Structure formats: structure tokens, C-alpha cells
């Protein structure tokens, strides 16, 4: 199977949160959202905007920390979660360098993006990408999106976040601002 990724060009993002609303609808997560738990959410601040979501690391620390096999790597991009195997010990929450995994106290399970793996298996793009009205989100093969990201950054004087952080991710983010200034965590750059 091909290796997939999501590319977010923040210069096109309007902060409308259509991606978050579509995600809530896709997963029927109204109760989680009402409790402030989102798989993806755009936060606006004075410095810019920050999209809180799983980065789908190539070498995910959350998977290493999970003792039950509830979190796994897919081999094609997404870091997957099996709620039936989750014991709610929150080790993955503590291990995630991007602070992307949330804990739902009412279910004692985690909440995280799956890159809509159920849609990928039907040759459909993730719900957030499908719903994005501004074209800020793109989905496709990792190598092609990486090439697009590098071309775009060289022309637009943008920065890439997620390319080397924690050894690389399947969520590539382009921004004008320093990632830390808008809210992205400072994560060790690994080879």
C-alpha cells in the first residue's frame, strides 16, 4: 500500500473549523466535542493559527508507550487506535511530544485522529480534507506532498513543520510564522 500524508498550508486556512465540524460529524463525536475534545481543531491567537491534531509520526512515541497494543502504526501513514484494547492508563498522552492525544474522562479512553483510515480503505480522502472550503488541506501520497511542500516553501518563504520533528510525520504543515509562536510544540528534530 502507498504511504499517505496530509499537507496543511496555513496561508490558505481561514480558521473556519469546517475540518473540525466535519470530523465531529464523521465520527458522531458530538458528546466529545461538547466536552472540549476534538480530533482536529483550529485555534486562533494573536500570533497566527495552530491546528491541533495528531501528526501521525513515522516513529510514534505513543505506540512505544502503549502497553496493550491499542495504538499501532499502519505502514501507510496513520497511527491507528483500537478503543477495545485501551485501558486508559494515559501513558500515550504523556508520551506524545505534540500533545495531540486527549483523554476522555467519561469513557476512560483516548481521543485522537485516525486520518480517517476507514475512509482510506474505501479510496476516499479524510473527512477534514474533503470538507476544507479553502483548499488549505491536501491529501495524497507522502512523496508527492513532500515535493509540493518543498516547492511551495521555496517560493513563499514558508517553514515546514512536521518534516523532521520527532523523526518526521505524515502531517506536513506550512507556515509563515515560527511554529512555536502560533502554538505548535517545540519537538526534538531527529534524523
The pLDDT score that the predictor gives to residue 32 is: 65
Cα-Cα-Cα-Cα dihedral sign, residues 30, 32, 36, 38: negative
**177-to-7, 139, 152, 163, 181 alpha-carbon distances in Å:** 17, 23, 15, 16, 7
pLDDT of 101 over the 80 cut: yes
Q: pLDDT-derived band of residue 89, with 50, 70 and 90 as boundaries?
A: very high
pLDDT of 142 over the 80 cut: yes
Q: Are strands 40-45 and 48-53 parallel, antiparallel or unpaired?
A: antiparallel
Q: Are strands 4-9 and 171-175 parallel, antiparallel or unpaired?
A: parallel
- Average pLDDT for 11-26: 90
Tens-place pLDDT, residues 146-190? 999 999 998 888 999 999 999 999 999 999 999 999 999 999 987
Quick check: pTM over 0.85?
yes
* DSSP H helices in 66-182: 91-95, 117-120, 127-131, 142-156, 179-182
Tens-place pLDDT, residues 36-72? 667 787 878 888 888 889 999 999 999 999 999 999 9
Tens-place pLDDT, residues 110-140? 889 999 998 998 999 999 999 999 999 999 9
The pLDDT score that the predictor gives to residue 29 is: 66
How do the domains of the chain map onto residue ranges?
4-58+114-182
pLDDT of 33 over the 70 cut: no
The pLDDT score that the predictor gives to residue 31 is: 64
Q: pLDDT-derived band of residue 34, with 50, 70 and 90 as boundaries?
A: low
Q: Give, in words, the CATH class of 4-58+114-182.
A: alpha beta
Amino acid at each position: 500500500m502507498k504511504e499517505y500524508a496530509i499537507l496543511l498550508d496555513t496561508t490558505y486556512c481561514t480558521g473556519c473549523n469546517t475540518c473540525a465540524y466535519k470530523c465531529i460529524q464523521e465520527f458522531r463525536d458530538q458528546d466529545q466535542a461538547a466536552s472540549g475534545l476534538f480530533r482536529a481543531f483550529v485555534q486562533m491567537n494573536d500570533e497566527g493559527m495552530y491546528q491541533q491534531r495528531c501528526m501521525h509520526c513515522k516513529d510514534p512515541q505513543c505506540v512505544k508507550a502503549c502497553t496493550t497494543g491499542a495504538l499501532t502504526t499502519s505502514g501507510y501513514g496513520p497511527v491507528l487506535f483500537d478503543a477495545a484494547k485501551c485501558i486508559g492508563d494515559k501513558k500515550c498522552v504523556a508520551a506524545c511530544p505534540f500533545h495531540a492525544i486527549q483523554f476522555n474522562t467519561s469513557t476512560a479512553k483516548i481521543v485522537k485522529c485516525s486520518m480517517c483510515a476507514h475512509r482510506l480503505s474505501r479510496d476516499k480522502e479524510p473527512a477534514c480534507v474533503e470538507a476544507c472550503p479553502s483548499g488549505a488541506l491536501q491529501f495524497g501520497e507522502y512523496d508527492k506532498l513532500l515535493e509540493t511542500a518543498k516547492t511551495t516553501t521555496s517560493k513563499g518563504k514558508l517553514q515546514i513543520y512536521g518534516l523532521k520533528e520527532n523523526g518526521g510525520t505524515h502531517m506536513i504543515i506550512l507556515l509563515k510564522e515560527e511554529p512555536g509562536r502560533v502554538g505548535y510544540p517545540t519537538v526534538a528534530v531527529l534524523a
